[in-house]
């Protein structure tokens, strides 16, 4: 039976299916598994396109763009919160520099798409229609933003090997602030395509990304389709990670580092890996944010205020619960908009609601559970979610 790294990454149930399949026909079983593995992506992309094409037309009046925008912001917030949850919820580290990764990735993505467009098409206007060349450049930019952020995640993850709790929090806080101050030192955006082509490489030092004013004029490619397609990828990866041996090992680090180490879990590797994965998705989300209409990416975004927004979402959602964090991210993004009627008391009401929610459910909206665990009928048939804690001990074996 061929056991590729790909199939290993699948969740526990898939590998179980693999065993049964190998008994009959290994070849068709592998193809079937691959197809099954791709199914969630297909479903997600179909839903994303539905959202993209249908949503603006079902809202009466002229309010379409407004609600589309809120739904876009919710999507980006979910990507951010779910990825942060890999570090804070699953691995039990405390990072408050997530917006730093987002902003770093956002600047990288904006840099690529802005100067890419300038170089290729001579202007920073959006180019090509739906799925056109412009959007291709945009997606590539977002991915490279994610890769740069992942690299930074590796660097920030390293100190977490020696530090934990509050001390690590300070390191991640410092990271966000460093990004903010470095970005303030950058040069002016070059808005002349001719000067750009003749100027040579020296004009790229320091990177011309706008300094304190922020990076404006970035082509506005972000739409519901791309946000929700990337959201799908984030969710599938987060979910499969949680159910995989790797994820179990991460959870074991959260539950008890010494016990995990005694069982053979490489703690250092799990922590750094969590940081790298989370930073990658934060970087991609930053790319989406940078290309959103009516947004200017500025160094201020890397500061701790925005990081705290995402920390609140993970805490409110429940540590390690993907659906809980999604709910919290959606709620906390939409809430300030629906509280606009309160005018200047809006943020007081918002903070008050946060306090009430934390008092009523200190373990978060869903605690360590996922949303389907709320249906008691399913608990007996499926793998009980209470294995989350006990899996800590069995995870080395799963690996």
Partner 1 sequence: MTCTDFQSMRRLIVFMPLGLLSLLTSGCQPAASSSPEIVIGHFASMTGSEATFGQSTDNGIKLAVDEINAAGGINGKQIRLITYDDKGDAREAGTAVTRLTTKDGVVAVLGEVASGLSLAGAPVCQESGVPMVTPSSTNPKVTKIGDMIFRVCFIDPFQGSVCAKFASEHAGLKAGKAAILTDQASPYSVGLQEEFQKAFEKLGGKVVTKQTYQAGDQDFSAQLTAIRSSEPDVVFVPGYYTDVGNVALQARKLGLTTPLLGGDGWDSSKLGEIAGSAIDGCFYSNHYSQEDPNPRVQEFIKKYSERHKQTPDGLAALGYDAARILFAAMKRAKSLDGKALAAELAQTTNFEGVTGNISIDGDRNAVKSAVILEMKDGKPKYVTTIQPGA
Pick out residues in 48-107 that bind partner 1 (CB under 8 A): 51, 55, 58-67, 69-71, 73-75, 78
Alpha-carbon distance values, 159 to 1, 47, 162, 168, 271 (Å): 40, 40, 6, 7, 10
- Among residues 298, 148, 134, the alpha carbon closest in space to that of 220 is found at 134
Cα separation, 168 vs 163, whole angstroms = 5
Which DSSP string corresponds to 124-135?
Answer: -S--SSTTSHHH
Write out the binding residues for partner 1, residues 18-37 only, by CB under 8 A: 20-21, 32, 36
Instruction: Tell me whether residue 71 or residue 109 sits nearer to partner 1 (CB atom).
Output: 71
CB of 370 to partner 1, least distance (A): 8
Work out which of 241, 282, 326, 392 binds partner 1, going by CB under 8 A.
326
Contact stretch for partner 1 (CB under 8 A) within 47-55, 125-133, 247-255, 361-369:
47-55
299 near partner 1, judged by CB under 8 A = yes
330 near partner 1, judged by CB under 8 A = yes
Cα separation, 399 vs 394, whole angstroms = 9
| Exposure string for 147-168, b = 16+ CB within 10 A, e = fewer | bbbbebbeebbebbeebeeeeb
φ, ψ of residue 215 in degrees (nearest 5): -95, 95
Return the number of other C-beta atoms located less than 10 Å from residue 196's C-beta.
17
Instruction: Tell me whether residue 2 or residue 381 sits nearer to partner 1 (CB atom).
Output: 381
Instruction: Count interface residues toward partner 1 (CB under 8 A).
Output: 80
Instruction: Tell me whether residue 184 or residue 363 sits nearer to partner 1 (CB atom).
Output: 184
CB of 277 to partner 1, least distance (A): 18
Q: Does the N-terminal peptide bond of residue 394 adopt cis geometry, omega within 30 degrees of 0? A: no
* CA 147 to chain CA mean position, Å: 13
293 near partner 1, judged by CB under 8 A = yes
Work out which of 178, 237, 296, 354 binds partner 1, going by CB under 8 A.
296
Write out the binding residues for partner 1, residues 207-226 only, by CB under 8 A: 211-214, 216, 220
Residue 287 CB contacts under 8 Å (≥ 6 apart), including other chains: 105, 106, 108, 109, 110, 138, 141, 142, 143, 145, 146
Work out which of 181, 262, 352, 356 binds partner 1, going by CB under 8 A.
181
Write out the binding residues for partner 1, residues 236-275 only, by CB under 8 A: 236, 239, 243
40 near partner 1, judged by CB under 8 A = yes
Write out the binding residues for partner 1, residues 346-365 only, by CB under 8 A: 346-347
Alpha-carbon distance values, 257 to 197, 261, 268, 368, 369 (Å): 54, 6, 10, 18, 22
SS3 297: strand
Cα separation, 331 vs 348, whole angstroms = 16
Instruction: Tell me whether residue 94 or residue 111 sits nearer to partner 1 (CB atom).
Output: 111
Contact stretch for partner 1 (CB under 8 A) within 90-98, 105-113, 267-275, 328-336:
328-336
Return the number of other C-beta atoms located less than 10 Å from residue 122's C-beta.
13
Instruction: Tell me whether residue 128 or residue 336 sits nearer to partner 1 (CB atom).
Output: 336
Instruction: Tell me whether residue 3 or residue 293 sits nearer to partner 1 (CB atom).
Output: 293
Instruction: Tell me whether residue 75 or residue 318 sits nearer to partner 1 (CB atom).
Output: 75
- Among residues 274, 91, 73, 303, the alpha carbon closest in space to that of 183 is found at 303
17 near partner 1, judged by CB under 8 A = yes
In the shown chain, the binding pattern of residues 150 to 169 toward partner 1, with x for contact by CB under 8 A and - for none, equals --------------------
CB of 66 to partner 1, least distance (A): 5
387 near partner 1, judged by CB under 8 A = no
Please check whether residue 82 is in contact with residue 314, taking contact to mean a CB–CB distance below 8 angstroms.
Answer: no
């Amino acid at each position: 039976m061929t056991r590729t790294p790909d199939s290993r990454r699948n969740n526990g149930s898939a590998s179980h299916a693999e065993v049964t399949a190998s008994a009959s026909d290994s070849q068709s079983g592998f193809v079937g598994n691959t197809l099954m593995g791709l199914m969630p992506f297909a479903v997600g992309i179909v839903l994303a396109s539905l959202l993209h094409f249908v949503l603006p037309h079902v809202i009466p009046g002229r309010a379409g763009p407004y609600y589309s925008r809120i739904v876009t912001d919710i999507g980006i917030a979910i990507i951010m919160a779910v990825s942060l949850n890999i570090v804070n919820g699953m691995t039990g580290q405390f990072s408050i520099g997530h917006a730093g990764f987002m902003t770093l990735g956002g600047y990288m993505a904006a840099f690529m798409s802005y100067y890419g467009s300038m170089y290729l098409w001579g202007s920073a206007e959006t180019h090509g229609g739906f799925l056109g060349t412009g959007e291709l450049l945009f997606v590539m930019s977002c991915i490279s933003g994610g890769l740069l952020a992942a690299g930074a995640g590796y660097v920030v993850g390293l100190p977490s090997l020696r530090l934990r709790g509050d001390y690590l929090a300070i390191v991640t806080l410092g990271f966000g602030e460093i990004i903010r101050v470095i970005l303030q030192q950058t040069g002016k955006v070059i808005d002349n395509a001719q000067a750009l082509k003749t100027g040579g490489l020296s004009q790229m030092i320091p990177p011309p990304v706008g300094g304190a004013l922020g990076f404006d004029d970035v082509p506005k490619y972000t739409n519901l389709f791309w946000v929700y397609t990337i959201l799908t990828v984030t969710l599938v990866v987060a979910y499969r990670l949680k159910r995989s041996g790797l994820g179990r090992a991460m959870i074991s680090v959260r539950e008890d580092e010494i016990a995990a180490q005694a069982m053979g879990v490489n703690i250092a590797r799990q922590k750094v890996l969590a940081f790298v994965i989370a930073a990658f998705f934060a970087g991609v989300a930053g790319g989406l944010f940078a290309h959103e209409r009516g947004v200017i990416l500025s160094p201020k975004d890397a500061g701790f205020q925005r990081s705290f927004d995402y920390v609140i979402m993970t805490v409110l959602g429940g540590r390690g619960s993907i659906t809980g964090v999604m709910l919290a991210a959606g709620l906390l993004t939409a809430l300030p908009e629906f509280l606009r009627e309160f005018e200047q008391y809006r943020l007081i009401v918002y903070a008050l609601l946060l306090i009430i929610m934390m008092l009523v459910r200190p373990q978060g909206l869903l605690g360590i559970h996922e949303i389907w665990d709320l249906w008691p009928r399913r608990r007996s048939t499926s793998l009980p979610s209470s294995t989350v804690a006990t899996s800590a001990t069995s995870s080395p074996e799963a690996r």
